[in-house]
């Protein structure tokens, strides 16, 4: 709830539901995942997220507010995870098939870490990262820079000499699209997409076709700058 650019965004209304609802429900549609866990913080401001999880029967873990890497590690330990798939809570257009493609590549090639963000071909907001528990544990043990703790995975992908890394890419480059929610402009864009597609289960191709029909939609948040890793 403590987002610096858009406080409370994870529970912002999109098409009659909280943003977190869409992230969870769309992620649940992925066929390669065993369990969904919301890893929130012990900050009292996030009590509403815990309450939301209880209401919607979603697994929830509470951990360190600032050290997100520690939060992920502790959540993985509590859930006896052999591998962890990272989906961020501000991606209400996350695509289940894209998640499955990344996870399937991870299972097939057996790297330490697989991601569709190493070389960006997907819109920002379809980000999927998969890592072994051993890789997560090593990052948790060895990462020292604050941004490596805040963003969970930089220690892994910045050290290809220590980890086997697999880049998963799409058939075409759609990386110019911004489908994540950091600002009011981003939220306006996502609301516009949902209102036009009138569905909670639209596909990646459905969204792409909408962009082709109404290219002006992409202008709503095109000028929003993506924060650097060091900005938090």
d(CA 22, CA 89): 9
pLDDT tens digits, residue range 166-220? 999 999 999 999 999 999 999 999 999 999 999 999 999 999 999 999 999 999 9
Encode burial over 6-36: b for 16+ CB neighbours within 10 A, e otherwise. Answer: beebbebebbebbbbbbbbbbbebbeebeeb
The pLDDT score that the predictor gives to residue 226 is 76
| Contact of 57 with 106, CB cutoff 8 Å | no
pLDDT tens digits, residue range 132-146? 999 999 999 999 999
Average pLDDT over residues 100-121: 98
Average pLDDT over residues 61-72: 97
Spatial strand order of the sheet with 129-132 comes to: 83-86, 129-132, 113-115, 165-167
The pLDDT score that the predictor gives to residue 231 is 61
- Name the CATH architecture for the domain at 9-177: Alpha-Beta Complex (3.90)
d(CA 93, CA 209): 14
Would you list the domain boundaries of the chain?
Answer: 9-177
- Tell me the average pLDDT of the chain: 96
The whole model's pTM is what? 0.95
Angle at 126 between CA 125 and CA 129, to 5 degrees: 110
């Amino acid at each position: 709830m403590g987002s610096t650019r858009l406080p409370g965004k994870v529970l912002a209304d999109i098409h009659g539901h909280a943003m977190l609802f869409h992230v969870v429900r769309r992620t649940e549609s992925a066929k390669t995942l065993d369990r969904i866990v919301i890893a929130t913080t012990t900050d009292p401001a996030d009590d509403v997220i815990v309450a939301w999880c209880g209401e919607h029967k979603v697994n929830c873990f509470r951990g360190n507010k600032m050290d997100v890497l520690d939060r992920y590690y502790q959540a993985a330990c509590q859930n006896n995870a052999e591998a962890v798939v990272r989906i961020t809570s501000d991606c209400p257009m996350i695509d289940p098939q894209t998640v499955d493609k990344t996870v399937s590549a991870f299972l097939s090639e057996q790297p330490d870490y697989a991601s569709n963000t190493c070389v960006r071909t997907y819109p920002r907001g379809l980000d999927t990262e998969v890592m072994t528990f051993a890789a997560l544990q090593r990052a948790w043990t060895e990462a020292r820079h604050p941004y490596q703790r805040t963003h969970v995975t930089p220690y892994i992908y910045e050290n290809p000499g220590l980890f086997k890394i697999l880049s998963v890419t799409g058939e075409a480059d759609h990386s110019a699209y911004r489908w994540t929610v950091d600002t009011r402009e981003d939220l306006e864009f996502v609301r516009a997409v949902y209102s036009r597609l009138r569905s909670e289960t639209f596909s990646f191709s459905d969204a792409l076709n909408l962009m082709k029909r109404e290219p002006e939609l992409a202008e709503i948040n095109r000028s929003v700058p993506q924060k650097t890793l060091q900005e938090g």
